């Protein structure tokens, strides 16, 4: 099945953490997150609908998941109309893309956000939106983990 949207994270989680550590100023980290989102492709229009909309986000965010039976991995397609959110999507993709549902459920995404000190520097509504995005990905993973 062809990819419906941006599916590859521009960097690994380790690369993102290393790059974050290089910056002392949160403005520089914020710009870096925005730059991460510039490398994402654009979600196909057919997935920009109510069924794929992530509720609870300040900006519009769409999520499409596809479970690959042969590999038993979950493929994610995410997009947003906001630059910073596209950067946050890149971080989510770095953590979750092409993992098994159980790997997604086991991954400590909150630990990653803590290591990046990310949520403390996002507005409460952006943080809630990020959590809503994570919740939807985990729900899709749970659906396939239960088989």
In the residue annotation, 84 being an active-site residue is answered as no
Three-state SS across 78-113?
EEECCHHHHHHHHHHHHHHCCECHHHHHHCCHHHHH
φ, ψ (nearest 5 deg) of residue 99: -110, 160
Rounded distance between C-alpha atoms, residue 77 and residue 63, angstroms = 6
**Taking the alpha carbons of 24, 86, 97, 130 in that order, is the dihedral positive or negative?**
positive
For residue 74, the cross-strand partners are 67, 99
Task: Say if CB 14 and CB 91 are below 8 A apart.
Answer: no
Q: Which of 9, 40, 57, 84 is catalytic?
A: 57
Helix (H, G, I), strand (E, B) or coil at 75: strand
Hey, which residues are catalytic here? Answer: 57
């Amino acid at each position: 099945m062809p990819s419906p949207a941006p599916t590859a994270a521009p960097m690994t989680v380790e690369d993102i953490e290393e790059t974050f550590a290089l910056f002392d100023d949160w403005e520089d980290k914020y710009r870096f997150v925005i730059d991460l989102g510039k490398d994402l492709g654009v979600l196909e229009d057919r997935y920009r609908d109510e069924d794929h909309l992530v509720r609870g986000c300040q900006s519009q965010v769409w999520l499409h998941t596809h479970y690959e039976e042969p590999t038993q991995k979950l493929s994610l397609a995410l997009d947003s109309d906001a630059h910073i959110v596209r950067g946050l999507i890149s971080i989510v993709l770095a953590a979750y893309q092409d993992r098994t549902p159980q790997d997604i459920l086991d991954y400590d995404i909150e630990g990653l956000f803590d290591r990046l000190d990310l949520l403390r520097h996002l507005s409460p509504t952006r943080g809630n939106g990020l959590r809503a995005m994570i919740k939807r990905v985990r729900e899709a993973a749970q659906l396939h983990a239960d088989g």
